Amino acid sequence: MTELKLRLKEENTERMVSVQKDVFTIGRLPECDLYLPFGGVSRCHARVTKTAADVWTIEDLGSKNGTQLNERLVSSPQVLRDGDIVWLGDVTLVVVLVRQLEVFTAFQVETSDTSETGEQRTILHNVKELQQQWIAADSKGGDSNKDTTIARLKDLVDIAKNLCAATSIEEIFSQVQQVVFRYLDSIERLALLIDVNDSGNLEIINAATRRLSQQKHLAADGSWISRSICQKVFAEKVAIQTADTHKDERFASEHSILVKGIRSAMAVPLWDENKVVGVLYADARLSSYHWANEGEEELSFFSALANIVASSVQRWLLAEKLKAEEVIRHRLERYHSPAVVQQLIAVGALPNGRLPPKESEISIVFADIVGFTAMSERISPTEVAQLLNNLFEEMLQEVFTYGGTLDKYIGDCIMAFFGAPEPQPDHAERAVAAAKGMLIRLESLNANNFWSEPLQLRIAINSGKAVVGDVGSSQRVDYTALGATINLAARMEAVCPPGECVISEVTYKMLSDSSDFGEMGHYRFKGINRLVKVYQTKMHQ
């Protein structure tokens, strides 16, 4: 099996992107599988497709600047080969095809491989049977073996105590590293891989070498690790140990293992009876012939250690999830009512803390302070900020009361909408109720001398289709609504009388009770090639 990777060159840096889907989109939209917010890249620029075993093609999706493969414009799907160069606007992608390890397909859950001389080279074990096996001292080993087992047991007890107090994944790995390098002399490199997002994809979290002088040569991306071994351990909950890949015929054709210089390797799943959360992996550039006699014992110890670590990793993952949810909650509370925030978090609709843009039926509200420009000329900037902060705080309560979403503040204007991110069939009713609530609340505030002079609002509402979601660059993203529906609402605000609310004919027809509104007339607005019928509140008529 061949894995496709794309080496992305960005200014003076490079990063490797794994193509882990049979259909992989590339473009400037955040929902693309490879998000490229760079010059010359179209919204949906190109698509990579796996058409057969180990065959990948690339095609252009009608991009503005086109897609080039090895300096030739892509006009139809083209097969990708190792070393090919793809240009998308100002972005360069280098194709890397990596042959993956496939040697385990013929293995059973419990097997061992023995050469003609009786030398055991590879062990594949069900981890349940390894949990306690190492504790029982080998009778052939005598007192020395018992002493080693007791020492290991004491270390594991100490680790269990220390891990309970560990507050970071670095502390957890440090404990594991010390014990592994103390007892497993043949191991040169150690890595901790975790399924951080519960997606089935292992990420290397930490790694170490026995010799500190070699630590700087340990690639941070984990390219030195046998991903095939780790993925099998993770997916099938088995422990794998191989003493010499060069003398095992099942590894003979595996280019990735030979190139990485792996001679002996050991990997066990991190699990705590409920689920596998990661893999503990170790390897060496030298063969480990002593595993012929001690292999199962060392693999059992390695597996027992992983079981203890798994619980700590689970706690760390939970803590990270809670922290991430708290960050997401604080961000969303700027835009959504508390009820909507709780619903979004509960259903897990926030991949990477983002809401991908999608088309929704909404009602958009613009609320503007009448005469704000003249007012700001008479007061200091500090007083202007104080006025806006206090007024927005009051008005936003009405938006949130009816399940609305704050889009943004535009100077002295509040832009909010109803009907997204969660669909609201009655979004027009909610928008109108919030607008009336704002006008009534402002009357009450004026009666109680909220400001040194009475304030008035102009409010405009329109309903229809819009694209709603997180939009922006890699540095800044805003949750917003875009489209003609929003543009019309913004134009309508200019014809609204002070202290009133105007709505479009579309919104008017969606109301179950429109008796509070009367026809105001037909208007032509800039950029809109039709007459628009506008209705006005009768609150003060």
- State pLDDT tens for residues 419-473: 988 899 999 999 999 999 999 999 999 999 999 899 999 999 999 999 998 787 7
What is the predicted pLDDT for the residue at 40? 84
Pick from 137-141, 225-229, 300-304, 344-348: least confident: 137-141
Peptide bond into 421 cis (omega under 30): yes
119-145 b/e (C-beta count within 10 Å ≥ 16 → b): ebbbbbbebeebeeebeebeeeeeeee
Specify the pLDDT at position 97.
Answer: 81
* Amino acid 495: pLDDT: 95
Measured distance CA(175)–CA(230) in Å, rounded: 21
Position 401 pLDDT exceeds 80? yes
**What rounded mean pLDDT belongs to the chain?**
79
Paired strand residues for 159? none
Q: What is the pLDDT of residue 513?
A: 92
Average pLDDT over residues 214-228: 72
What distance in Å separates the CA atoms of residue 402 and residue 414, rounded to the nearest whole number?
15
The pLDDT value recorded for residue 113 is: 45
User: Residue 330 pLDDT more than 80?
Assistant: no
pLDDT tens per residue across span 227-259: 878 888 888 888 887 766 555 554 544 444 544
> Distance of CA 198 to CAs 65, 206, 275, 306, Å?
37, 18, 10, 18
In this prediction, residues 160-165 reach a mean pLDDT of 70
CA nearest 432: which of 332, 353, 364, 336?
364
CA distance 283 to 291: 13
Residue 245 sits at φ, ψ, to 5 deg, of: -65, -30
pLDDT band of 102, cuts 50, 70, 90: very low
The residue behind tokens 């002088």 is 213
Mean pLDDT over 120-132 rounds to 56
Q: What is the pTM of this model?
A: 0.46
Among 49-58, 97-106, 287-296, 312-321, the range of highest mean pLDDT? 49-58
* 3 state DSSP class of 62: coil
What single letter denotes the amino acid at residue 192? L
Q: What CA–CA distance (Å, rounded) separates 520 from 535?
A: 5
Helix/strand number for the chain, H first, E second: 11, 26
